[in-house]
Structure 1
Amino acid sequence: MNSIQEASDKLKLLGDKTRLTILSLLQEREWCVCEFVDILGMSQPGISQHLRKLKDQGLVKESKRGQWVYYALNVEETPYIKSVLEFMPDSAAILKSLNKEGISSGCK
C-alpha cells in the first residue's frame, strides 16, 4: 500500500451503494456498460461516471469491443478491497434483490 491517503480514497468509493454493487458484480465476470444500465436502472452517463471513478482509482479496467466498453475487476494489488468484496453477495443474489434475474450476458 502506497499510503493511508490512497487507501482512504479507494475505500471511500465503496461507501457508494452503486459502486459497491458494480464491484461486487465484477467479481464473477466482466460486464458491459449497457448491462449496468439495465441492472441498476440508471442512465448510461450516470453509470459511466461511477465506472470512471473506479477506473481512476485502478479498481476496474476496461476493454473496448466495437461500440461497447466492458469492465473487469482489477483489485489484485489492493488486497484490502479484495477482502471487502469477499463478503459481498454473489451476482445471482444481487440480481435477485434487484428483480433482474433474467439479465443476459452481452450487449446487442
Structure 2
Amino acid sequence: MNEFDEIAETLKLLSDKTRLTILALLKERDMCVCDIVDILETTQPNVSQHLRKLKLGGLVNESRRSQWIYYSLNKESKPYLQAVLEQLPSMKETLAARTNLSCE
C-alpha cells in the first residue's frame, strides 16, 4: 500500500462520528470497552466493531490488564494523526461526570 492509500484509509476511518468520539476519549486516557459503551450509550458489539477497525487501521493499541482489554491511542504509527487529535473536543468533563467508570 502506498502512502496516499494509507492516508486515504485513515481518513475514511476518521469520517465516522463514533470513531472520532472514541479517539477523543482515548486522547484523555486508556479505556476498556465497557467504559466506552457506558459513555456512548450504545452496545458492546457496536463499540467493539469500531475499536476493531481502529486497531486494524493502526490508530489504537490494546493491552490486557487481568481479564480486561484496554485501548489506547497509537500516536507513533501515523504522525499526521496528531493534527487531527488536537482538533477533537476535550472529553474531560464527560469523563469527570462518570464516577463509575473502570472495569476493574
Question: Is the structural similarity TM-score above 0.5?
Answer: yes
Superposed displacement of residue 25, structure 1: 1.1
Residue 73 of structure 1 corresponds to which residue in structure 2?
Answer: 73
Matched letter for residue 27 of structure 1: K
Superposed displacement of residue 78, structure 1: 1.0
Matched letter for residue 84 of structure 2: V
Superposed displacement of residue 104, structure 1: 3.8
CA distance in 1, matches of 2:27, 2:77: 15
Q: CA RMSD in A?
A: 1.7
CA distance in 2, matches of 1:105, 1:38: 8
Residue 85 of structure 1 corresponds to which residue in structure 2?
Answer: 85
Structure 1 residues 107 and 80 mapped into 2: Cα distance closer, same or farther (>3 Å)?
same
Instruction: Tell me the secondary structure at the aligned position of residue 8 of structure 1.
Output: helix
- The answer to whether the 8 Å contact 2:59/2:77 transfers is no
Superposed displacement of residue 77, structure 1: 2.7
Superposed displacement of residue 67, structure 1: 2.4
CA distance in 1, matches of 2:53, 2:33: 14
Larger helix percent: 2
Moved over 2 A (4+): 102-105
Aligned residue pair count: 103
| Pair 1:45 & 2:45 matched | yes
Instruction: Tell me the secondary structure at the aligned position of residue 70 of structure 1.
Output: strand
Matched letter for residue 67 of structure 1: Q
- The answer to whether the 8 Å contact 1:27/1:73 transfers is yes
TM-score (norm 1): 0.86
CA distance in 1, matches of 2:77, 2:63: 19
- Unmatched 5+ residue regions in structure 1? none
Per mean C-alpha deviation after superposition, the further-off stretch among 77-86 and 40-49 is 77-86
CA distance in 2, matches of 1:47, 1:9: 19
Identity %: 53
CA distance in 2, matches of 1:29, 1:89: 14
CA distance in 1, matches of 2:99, 2:9: 32
Superposed displacement of residue 66, structure 1: 2.6
